Structure 1
Amino acid sequence: MPQSPTDVQINMEVIKIDEHSAISRNYLIKYCITLKNKN
């Protein structure tokens, strides 16, 4: 399944956050997984 533009944007944000804080990245990943599980 190809990634939607939104997924790509989120991945870029994850990479940016990872440069500053792995904790923030992990939080964002958990948040994204929660959103995907709702759909």
Structure 2
Amino acid sequence: MTPSLANFLYSLLAGVVVVVIPVVVGLVFISQKDKIQRGS
């Protein structure tokens, strides 16, 4: 694997860590905080 390819893969991984994880945590937090009353 070339160094440029390795750097590209590392940057993708860093992007996933920086963007996806906080979004998922935020959505889970909001979904737990704002429960919608259904069917009553």
TM value normalised by structure 1: 0.47
Report the TM-score when normalising by structure 2.
0.46
Q: Which has the higher contact order (CA 8 A, sep 6+)?
A: 1
